[in-house]
């Protein structure tokens, strides 16, 4: 079954999306980014596969997301055709893999062995752990109405854990669509250079 978790700290932000999707599965709201603490999640969409016994089959990884958005025309939001095709391909491949696992369980080629799963665990630094604690403090202070102080803590958290787009984008100003896609976002993405926005996914055929 699917459990979808909105890494959304601002009250009410995820609701219009959930209402529109009318999901048949649990949709949970993670205001403190608890899953980031526990599973090393740094971006969305990232997924974890968990079997019937509660064991991690595939640790946190980008869920069918593709780097191609970086080649999007930022004014028109259009993507080159070959990029759009690979974007769709990445998503379809990942969905097929999930279905294969749902049907075949541990026999699925996409289900990691214990050794493979351990080899794919996210790297967690002590700075990242401290950053998540700062993020949690910031969210609590926001609830108390201490906005300026909270924003300073989120900036510090992001400085300590620069790989976390969850922290940065949660703290960023938003566009008219509610997306953290202001010029600051694109500058930060461009600043990655050759580094990936979405970590590579170990799945045959994944672009």
Partner 1 sequence: MVTVLTESGEYALAEAEASTTALWCPAREADTATGWVAKPEGLCRGAVCVPLPAGREREFVDGGRINLAALWRHLGQPAVRSERGHVWVLSASARERKAALASLEAPDFTLPDPSGRMHRLSDYRGKKVFLVTWASW
Which residues 165-204 are close enough to bind partner 1 by CB under 8 A? 166, 169-170, 172, 174, 178-180
| Smallest distance from partner 1 to CB 151, Å | 13
Q: Site residues for partner 1, window 14-33 (CB under 8 A)?
A: 14-18, 26-30
170 and 138 Cβ atoms separated by less than 8 Å: no
| Smallest distance from partner 1 to CB 36, Å | 8
CA distances from 140 to 6, 16, 146 (A): 18, 24, 9
Pick from 87, 136, 188, 201: which binds partner 1 (CB under 8 A)? 136
CA 89, distance to chain mean position in Å, is 19
From residue 28 to residue 67, the character string flagging contacts with partner 1 as x (rule: CB under 8 A) and all else as - is: xxx---xx-xxxxx--xxxxxxxxxxxxx--x---x----
Dihedral pair phi/psi, residue 34, rounded to 5° = -60, -40
As a whole number of angstroms, the distance between CA 116 and CA 35 comes to 21
For 160, the token pair is: 């300590």
Of 70-78, 81-89, 164-172, 187-195, the window that binds partner 1 (rule: CB under 8 A) is 164-172
Residue 69 interacts with partner 1 (CB under 8 A)? Answer: no
From residue 91 to residue 130, the character string flagging contacts with partner 1 as x (rule: CB under 8 A) and all else as - is: -------x--xx--x--------x--xx--xx-xxx-xxx
CA 33, distance to chain mean position in Å, is 11
The C-alpha angle 95, 96, 98, rounded to 5 degrees, equals 65
Question: Would you say 5 or 83 has its CB closer to partner 1?
Answer: 5
Question: Would you say 10 or 196 has its CB closer to partner 1?
Answer: 10
| Smallest distance from partner 1 to CB 47, Å | 4
Helix (H, G, I), strand (E, B) or coil at 15: helix
36 and 164 Cβ atoms separated by less than 8 Å: yes
# chain residues binding partner 1, by CB under 8 A: 76
């Amino acid at each position: 079954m699917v459990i979808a978790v909105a890494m959304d700290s601002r009250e009410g932000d995820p609701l219009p999306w959930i209402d529109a999707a009318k999901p048949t599965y649990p949709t949970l709201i993670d205001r403190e980014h608890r899953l980031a603490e526990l599973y090393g999640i740094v971006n969305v969409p990232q997924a974890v596969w968990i079997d019937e016994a509660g064991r991690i089959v595939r640790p946190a990884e980008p869920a069918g997301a593709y780097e191609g958005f970086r080649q999007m025309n930022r004014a028109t939001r259009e993507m080159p055709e070959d990029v759009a095709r690979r974007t769709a391909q990445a998503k379809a491949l990942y969905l097929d893999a999930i279905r294969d696992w749902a049907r075949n369980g541990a026999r699925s080629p996409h289900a990691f062995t214990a050794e493979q799963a351990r080899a794919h665990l996210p790297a967690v630094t002590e700075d990242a752990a401290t950053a998540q604690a700062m993020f949690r403090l910031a969210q609590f202070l926001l609830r108390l109405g201490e906005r300026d102080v909270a924003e300073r803590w989120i900036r510090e958290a992001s400085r300590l854990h620069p790989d976390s787009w969850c922290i940065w984008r949660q703290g960023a100003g938003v566009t008219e669509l509610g997306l953290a896609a202001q010029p600051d976002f694109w500058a930060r993405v461009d600043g990655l250079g050759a580094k990936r926005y979405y970590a590579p996914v170990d799945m045959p055929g994944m672009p």
